[in-house]
Amino acid sequence: MKEISVTSQNAGQRAEKFVRKYLPEAPLGFIYKAFRKKDVKVNGKWVKKDHILEEGDVVRIYVTDQQLEDFRKPRPVEKKEFPYEIAYEDESVLIVNKPQGILVYGDKTGVRETLGNAVLDYLYLKGEYDPNDSSFTPSPAHRLDRNTSGLIIYGKTDAALKQLTDLFKERDNIDKRYLALVLGNIKEDRGEIKKPLKKDSFSGRVSVCPIEEGGKSALTRYVVRKRYGEYTLLEAELVTGRTHQIRVHFASIGHPLVGDEKYGDFACNRKVKSLTGMENQFLHAYSMGFGPLDGALAKLSNKTISAMMPASLAMAIEKLAGKMDN
């Protein structure tokens, strides 16, 4: 956590602008999320992005020491081709297929080579990003865990990113679907899990928690794709977008994700690793559908973008299915 006092030179500006100036290398999506998660406070109280600061105010930004270092120290941008799959692109947005093991942006470990950096290098190559112009930095509208693969959408312009942020917050005109392999045979062909979730800010773990005790409503719908003996391949729809929602929801009904080191079945994970070599959770954000849209997102209107399952996950299924047949 960093605490900053507002001087006469900084008074009169919006809280969002103040934070952006203080953390010049932080992706705009990260800053928007910080305000949504109430990680920015003024005089001990949560404020919205458009709150006007006054001289003498004390601003607290809840970031790790490593994030503070990374977001205040620029990384040189280079003109490079994008090294991963691009699922969709127009002049306003870029949708990419993130591999497992890649961070969206830096974390407390100090990792600097991230998906976000690769996007900036690519857009610099195309002439769609100027690292010398600090007024806007293309940023993701959401994020995926390091070990979750799949689709992530970036706003190339300020107008597009703001519209995307609202889209993910309201969730009326976006449909996100994942492929997940879980432990056990889920007998119903379709169903839903409606359990409120709460994140522990110290441990980073998420758990089912009643709303009256601080939990936030969360709903996951699912359809069974195929059953493999003691495993079930599901298509999961995120109706809400809580942290680790799919992983915690399925663990809570006794069907944790295969390979999940945080919420999974450790004996199952060891067995699967020995059979397939898979070390991460089996979760892939394979589809992103959009309703009628206008403005900067007009070209995405009524489109569905998809990304194939990574070869490593497809191979793991083949090995597990073969083992079930023997």
318 contacts: CB under 8 Å, gap ≥ 6: none
CB 218 within 8 Å of CB 196: yes
Classify burial at 36, counting beta carbons within 10 Å of its beta carbon; exposed 0-12, middle 13-18, buried 19 or more: middle
309 contacts: CB under 8 Å, gap ≥ 6: 179, 284, 286
Closest residue by Cα to residue 151 from 324, 30, 283? 283
Q: Is 65 left (phi over 0), alpha (psi -120 to 50) or beta?
A: alpha
Per annotation, catalytic residue among 70, 145, 260, 265: 145
158 counts as catalytic: no
The residues annotated with a catalytic role in the active site are 145
